[in-house]
Structure 1
Amino acid sequence: MITIPYLTALSTYFSYALLFAFGQFRDFFRKIADWWGKDNSLQGYAPICLGFEDFYIRRLYMRIQDCFGRPIASAPDAWFDVVERVSNDYNKTLKRTENINRCLNLGSYNYLGFAAADEYCTPRAIETLKKFSPSTCSARVDGGTTTMHNDLEECVANFVGKPASIVFGMGYVTNSAILPVLIGKGGLIISDSLNHNSIVNGARGSGATVRVFQHNTPSHLEKVLREQIADGQPRTHRPWKKIIVVVEGIYSMEGELCELPEIVSICKKYKAYVYLDEAHSIGAVGKTGKGVCELLGVDTADVDVMMGTFTKSFGSSGGYIAGSKELIRYLKHNCPAHLYATSISPPAAQQIISSIKVILGEDGTSRGAQKLARIRENSNFFRSELQKMGFEVLGDNDSPVMPIMLYNPAKIPAFSRECLKQNVAVVTVAFPATPLLLARARICISASHTREDLTKGLEVISNVADLVGIKYFPAEPKKELENGRTKLE
């Protein structure tokens, strides 16, 4: 639960109220101008988008859209090239210039550093590109299944500790297309309140009844389960045909680890299925990178559906579902993302297989273990230093995702632009990805970052924070070494 400082909450409410008031004032005069000019451009058609529907986009997002969608001109490594953009019409349009800035990358999901050129993965991906081409140009059930896809599904199943798996070309679709296949009318989905939008849309599209439990709170999950089982289906009160509890391994906007052992125990008690989204945790946490089950000591046999993506730790694209052989066979015959969508690119599949081999040490080196140790050390170091400086940082230790709370809408562009001026690229996140009052900067740490990179990032973030005022707690006294001992100033 995030507790917003009173004055911060007050100023944030005031800022949005001011924005709303001036926006409505300007829209009023624009309507008068349109009426006076008798604009008939629609010629009898109803407007696709009404004025109030895109009010937030026009009055807030458009004014700060230079902070989002910045084009890059290199691989998303520890440092990357950011293309400069300018606007002459108050950000309504942005034009690229010839200037390119080399920036420290604190925003990409490149957790293990595989997104850049790798001595083991890259040559194999290139060879696969030459052999299979960039695309199969077909769905899996037609001509889109290559030997690479079969090898990948076997590799993923073995890696996560499940009998079988199925892979898809897009991570978002893995959730949104799978849930409607797993459950429908007469079923119950109980979802964490902060689950990803792909889970939300998948649950809505399933036709099942959806209930939400308080974020990462097993006690409330048990309460919801008990009440829903006692009440049964709406109107008929018949028993639910199926109950699925959906959680994430690491919550992408919070950086928190799932309370998985407690949740699994409760689901066992009430005979509910567990659906685990490991988009941000697979490959990034655990002694051998096998995710939160390994990290928290949960038997993968107790998780019925294991979902994950290849777009983070593996430096590729797509997603997977791992489970029993019966489950995977059912999905291959019923899931539209498998039946109708173009299969995952063969070079992308090879990149995933190769990165998993590196993680497991099957490349003949210890680079995988070193990467896992480095991402853990880098994440914990960066998080502890931010907390010492007085930032409100969300999330848990070992998580490479660490949101820094900004709150006030004016601080979103200020923080992003000032960091960019000092060659540090950060991602700022606001409504609708987060609640209106809980805007934040989401820092993502990589194993490819050196200690010098992280120190540089911390220095810039600290200086910018002093400028825009986002240190909400007193900083801890600095430490120095004297005669081999650490002392407080």
Structure 2
Amino acid sequence: MSNFGLSASAKLALLQRLSRRRDGAPEATPAADAPRLGRDDFADLPNGREMGMIKDAVAVLGLPNPFFRAHEGRAGAETTIGDRRVLNFSSYDYLGLNGDPRVAEAAKAAIDRYGVSPSASRLVSGERPVHAALERDLAALYGTEACLTFVSGHATNVTVIGNLLGARDLILHDAAIHNSCVEGARLSGARRIAFPHNDAEAAERELAAARARHGRALVLIEGHYSMDGDVPDLARFVALARKYDAWLMVDEAHSLGVLGARGHGIAEAQGVDPADVDIWMGTLSKTLSACGGYICGRAGLIQYLQYAAPGFVYSVGMAPALAAAAREALAIMRAEPERVARLNANARLFLTLAREAGFDTGLSEGHAIVPVILGSSVAATRLSASLFEAGMNVQPIVFPAVPEKSARLRFFLGAEHTEAQIRTAVAMLAATRGRAR
């Protein structure tokens, strides 16, 4: 008897029922005589019971926890987990710069000069020259008037979106937008409308119907979607934003260093003038091998955020070593575009081989992210465990992060992967696919 009082088969059946629940389904109303929750009842938080049931079901299946695996060193095309060297497709070091000695030396030099922490918010006394230097370089990349960096990519979207708009305003966003954007939109209090993924026509219908009833409006999309590996038609969304007097914000977390011949992002890849986008957002933790986020745009926007965005004003400044590392990585990306070409060639090869082997790769366009969609959380977790046992690290993406019917393995490709490693990975997938059932 388990701690839930259910047999193994009953627990699995319950897990399947839970996974089919729609977002926003009402929680069961406790009985009138139910005991009052105490301060230690964290399991009764929203989604707590579901998380406990999933954990219990995975234990019944005898599967190891695929999350929080500790890497014993740098995680590149290969990594060491425990005492094993394995192929690695779970890191977004897209251009292989995290292990570049030039990036490491830039970080070390910054530590020697500034210490490990700025020890204050930049507004108070945490400003260092390396912060402004990085921001000038990012603004130059996008051709914008200014840029502002933040200590966290997730916090960048939360604090910027959450404070640019208010209760009288409108946020129109892709249904597949990142959690950080959703949380920022919720914080703002603005009306939120999600349109079907990458459907510009549906987006226009929604905006046309709602625009007149609101003050400011923001159209929010990603440059390269992290779950599916596809991209929007940027010019269509530029035209949409202009037609309805809305700001356009593009989250480039997974497109900087990936899209475009030089890795300059979706605008370069699609021949769109970057000035046509009002707010460029990106992260420093992927291609740029550091940690943090940035906003590029007009000088008035950046000045407003410097003095009004709580996630900047009330947060410690970015560690100087991280700013220096990101700046050096950006310089290398610009000087060595062959890294971008290698990355995209690797991703296209993986996508082609996976499709030839009969795997469902969804909407991926083969830039850096390729999902292998398996249809259930149990199947994705089982296959991830089998592949890890065989010598490959790739993470399952399961309910509730994605709908149960689209649970998947998500492969991040990098410039450091070799053709042999990619062919081996797909062969391993094919050899173990029967264990996903």
- TM-score normalized with structure 2 length: 0.89
Superposition RMSD on alpha carbons, in Å? 2.3
Shift of 1:17: 3.9
Q: How far apart in 2 are the matches of 1:22 and 1:348?
A: 41
Instruction: Note if 1:291 corresponds to 2:273.
Output: no
Checking the alignment, whether the CA contact within 8 Å between 1:242 and 1:272 is kept in structure 2 is: yes
Instruction: Name the count of aligned residue pairs.
Output: 409
Instruction: Note if 1:432 corresponds to 2:431.
Output: no
Shift of 1:192: 0.7
Q: How far apart in 2 are the matches of 1:275 and 1:452?
A: 39
Shift of 1:436: 2.8
Q: Which residue of 2 aligns with 1:37?
A: none
Q: How does 1:450-469 map to 2 (within 5 A)?
A: 450-468=418-436
User: Which of 343, 368, 371 matches 1:403?
Assistant: 371
Q: How far apart in 2 are the matches of 1:467 and 1:409?
A: 13
Q: How does 1:126-141 map to 2 (within 5 A)?
A: 126-141=108-123
Shift of 1:229: 2.4
Checking the alignment, whether the CA contact within 8 Å between 1:102 and 1:423 is kept in structure 2 is: yes
Q: How does 1:26-425 map to 2 (within 5 A)?
A: 47-50=41-44, 53-61=47-55, 63=58, 66-83=65-82, 100-116=83-99, 118-230=100-212, 232=213, 240-361=214-335, 368-425=336-393
Q: Sort the Cα spacing of 1:44 and 1:360 in 2 relative to 1 into closer, same or farther, 3 A.
A: closer
Checking the alignment, whether the CA contact within 8 Å between 2:11 and 2:53 is kept in structure 1 is: no
Shift of 1:21: 7.4
Q: How far apart in 2 are the matches of 1:174 and 1:200?
A: 12
For residue 66 of structure 1, give the secondary structure of its aligned residue in structure 2: coil
Counterpart residue identity of residue 215, structure 1: H
Checking the alignment, whether the CA contact within 8 Å between 2:220 and 2:248 is kept in structure 1 is: yes
Q: Sort the Cα spacing of 1:43 and 1:451 in 2 relative to 1 into closer, same or farther, 3 A.
A: closer
Counterpart residue identity of residue 337, structure 2: A
Counterpart residue identity of residue 54, structure 2: L
For residue 404 of structure 2, give the secondary structure of its aligned residue in structure 1: coil
Percent of aligned pairs sharing the same letter: 29
Checking the alignment, whether the CA contact within 8 Å between 2:284 and 2:292 is kept in structure 1 is: yes
Instruction: Return 5+ residue gaps in structure 1 as ranges.
Output: 1-13, 24-39, 84-99, 233-239, 362-367, 470-489
For residue 126 of structure 2, give the secondary structure of its aligned residue in structure 1: coil
- TM-score normalized with structure 1 length: 0.80
For residue 448 of structure 1, give the secondary structure of its aligned residue in structure 2: coil
Q: Sort the Cα spacing of 1:52 and 1:347 in 2 relative to 1 into closer, same or farther, 3 A.
A: closer
1:39-83 Cα deviation digits (max 9, x unpaired): x9x996684442884222111135356111111111111111112
Q: Which residue of 2 aligns with 1:91?
A: none
Q: Sort the Cα spacing of 1:58 and 1:43 in 2 relative to 1 into closer, same or farther, 3 A.
A: closer
For residue 141 of structure 1, give the secondary structure of its aligned residue in structure 2: helix
For residue 167 of structure 1, give the secondary structure of its aligned residue in structure 2: strand
Shift of 1:466: 3.8
Shift of 1:126: 1.5
Q: How far apart in 2 are the matches of 1:222 and 1:148?
A: 42
- The range that moved more, 456-465 or 166-175, is 456-465
Counterpart residue identity of residue 351, structure 1: A
Q: Which residue of 2 aligns with 1:92?
A: none
Counterpart residue identity of residue 371, structure 1: R
For residue 255 of structure 1, give the secondary structure of its aligned residue in structure 2: coil
Q: Which residue of 2 aligns with 1:94?
A: none
Shift of 1:142: 1.4
Q: Sort the Cα spacing of 1:226 and 1:449 in 2 relative to 1 into closer, same or farther, 3 A.
A: same
Q: Of the two, which has the highest radius of gyration? A: 1
For residue 195 of structure 1, give the secondary structure of its aligned residue in structure 2: coil
1:89-132 Cα deviation digits (max 9, x unpaired): xxxxxxxxxxx21111111111000122x132222221112211
For residue 122 of structure 2, give the secondary structure of its aligned residue in structure 1: coil
Shift of 1:250: 0.7
Q: Which residue of 1 aligns with 2:7?
A: none
Q: Which residue of 1 aligns with 2:3?
A: none
1:329-352 Cα deviation digits (max 9, x unpaired): 010010111111111111111111
Q: How far apart in 1 are the matches of 2:14 and 2:189?
A: 40
Q: Which residue of 2 aligns with 1:7?
A: none
Shift of 1:263: 1.2
1:317-369 Cα deviation digits (max 9, x unpaired): 100000000110010010111111111111111111111111111xxxxxx22
- The range that moved more, 429-438 or 305-314, is 429-438
Q: Sort the Cα spacing of 1:67 and 1:263 in 2 relative to 1 into closer, same or farther, 3 A.
A: same
Checking the alignment, whether the CA contact within 8 Å between 2:96 and 2:415 is kept in structure 1 is: yes
1:246-301 Cα deviation digits (max 9, x unpaired): 00011111111122111111111111110100000012111111100110111111
Checking the alignment, whether the CA contact within 8 Å between 1:285 and 1:398 is kept in structure 2 is: no
Counterpart residue identity of residue 404, structure 2: L
Checking the alignment, whether the CA contact within 8 Å between 1:244 and 1:275 is kept in structure 2 is: yes
Q: How far apart in 1 are the matches of 2:239 and 2:420?
A: 43
Q: Which residue of 1 aligns with 2:24?
A: none
For residue 107 of structure 1, give the secondary structure of its aligned residue in structure 2: coil
Shift of 1:20: 5.8
For residue 120 of structure 1, give the secondary structure of its aligned residue in structure 2: helix
For residue 382 of structure 1, give the secondary structure of its aligned residue in structure 2: helix
Checking the alignment, whether the CA contact within 8 Å between 1:256 and 1:394 is kept in structure 2 is: no
Q: Sort the Cα spacing of 1:437 and 1:333 in 2 relative to 1 into closer, same or farther, 3 A.
A: same
Q: How far apart in 1 are the matches of 2:144 and 2:429?
A: 42
For residue 125 of structure 2, give the secondary structure of its aligned residue in structure 1: coil
User: Which of 3, 15, 21 matches 1:19?
Assistant: 15
- The range that moved more, 136-145 or 60-69, is 60-69
